[in-house]
Amino acid sequence: MKNYFTPHIDSLAKEGMTFTQHYAGSTVCAPSRCVLLTGKHTGHAYVRGNKQAEPSGQLQLPAEEKTFATVFQEQGYKTGCFGKWGMGIAGTQGDPQKHGFDIFVGFYDQILTHNSYPEFLYKTGDKMMLDYKVNYLPESERHKGLGSYATEKKEYAHDIIFKELTQWLDDNKDGPFFLYFPSTIPHDNGEALNNQTIEVPVVKEEFRHKDWSPDQKNYVTIVTLLDGIQFYTLTAGTMTDTRSILLYRWVLRLYHSDHKMFDMHE
């Protein structure tokens, strides 16, 4: 599984600074992102586990918890969050718009994020319905009925989110901005059928004939897809005009993992 490449992610390490003794804030998703956004370790951070809230979403980040997105916003930066949130749903005290973000596109509930072909996404509190056929697991099973997989797949959720991100970046790249991109990939869908847990639109040609399982082929495809996204966010889509070159030079970029990978992907 070592014979694939991530040249754009690698370039961040080669051309920038690596933190070889740095640890993610936690071993699981929500608390790790809480640590990152608030600057508090899990002895002080409010969110310390992937605790579900009722009827959906995770433990809400309290209104008094200040994120560094709020600090940027107070200094006049445009702020956007695209991907998964996992610290409260729209209208609650954990709403990302109450924690420094002008816009949010993606999933409030990180359990729903598992399905890359979901029934809906959200854009700043408004539900964006998608024309997919989705099968939800019974409430007696994992994730209280929120776990799901699509039986009819159309546009990849990650692609929809990324289109919104690129539009926002294009609209705001001439002024100070803070982009927070907690990507929905390469997370698996543990609720999907066997050998379909890593969801991608199509396996890349160079991996199709490898002696790997379907999920392994999908996984390396999804990682190279994520690497390609780094190229876009590094260059604002193109390096052909002066504004993009200046943006490339003057934007601080930080690439950070929530936590370690699953053993099957070592």
Extract the tokens encoding 61: 């980040």
Q: Please report which confidence band the pLDDT of residue 83 belongs to, taking 50, 70 and 90 as the band edges.
A: very high
**Which of 59, 63, 6 minimizes the C-alpha distance to 33?**
59
Say if 111 falls within a structural domain: yes
Say if 88 falls within a structural domain: yes
Q: How far apart are CA 253 and CA 31, in angstroms?
A: 22
Say if 54 falls within a structural domain: no
Say if 86 falls within a structural domain: yes
Burial degree of 262 (CB within 10 A; 0-12, 13-18, 19+):
middle
Q: How far apart are CA 194 and CA 82, in angstroms?
A: 29
The top-scoring range by mean pLDDT among 20-24, 82-86, 134-138, 190-194 is: 82-86
Q: How far apart are CA 241 and CA 246, in angstroms?
A: 9
Say if 153 falls within a structural domain: yes
Say if 186 falls within a structural domain: yes
* Full residue range of the structural domain in which residue 153 is found: 66-256
Q: What is the pLDDT of residues 15-69, one digit of tens each?
A: 889 988 888 888 888 999 999 999 999 999 999 988 888 878 899 999 999 999 9
The top-scoring range by mean pLDDT among 3-7, 73-77, 114-118, 197-201 is: 73-77
Say if 18 falls within a structural domain: no
Q: Please report which confidence band the pLDDT of residue 240 belongs to, taking 50, 70 and 90 as the band edges.
A: very low
Say if 10 falls within a structural domain: no
The whole model's pTM is what?
Answer: 0.89
Phi, psi of 206 (to 5 degrees): -70, -10
Which three-class secondary structure string do you get for 58-82? ECCCCCCCCCHHHHHHHCCCEEEEE
Residue 239's pLDDT is 42
Residue 105's pLDDT is 98
Q: Based on the structure, what is the number of domains in the chain? A: 1
Q: What is the pLDDT of residues 167-181, one digit of tens each?
A: 898 899 888 999 999
Q: What is the DSSP string of the chain?
A: ------HHHHHHHHHS---TT---S-SSHHHHHHHHHH---TTT-S--S--B-SSSSBPPPPTT---HHHHHHHTT-EEEEEEE--S--TTSTT-GGGTT-SEEEEESSTTGGG-SS-SEEEETTEEEE---EEEEPPTTSGGGGT-EEEEE--S-HHHHHHHHHHHHHHHHTTS-EEEE----TT---TTSPTT-SS--SS--GGGTTSSS-HHHHHHHHHHHHHHHHHHHHHHTT-SSSHHHHHHHHH-------SSPPPGGG-
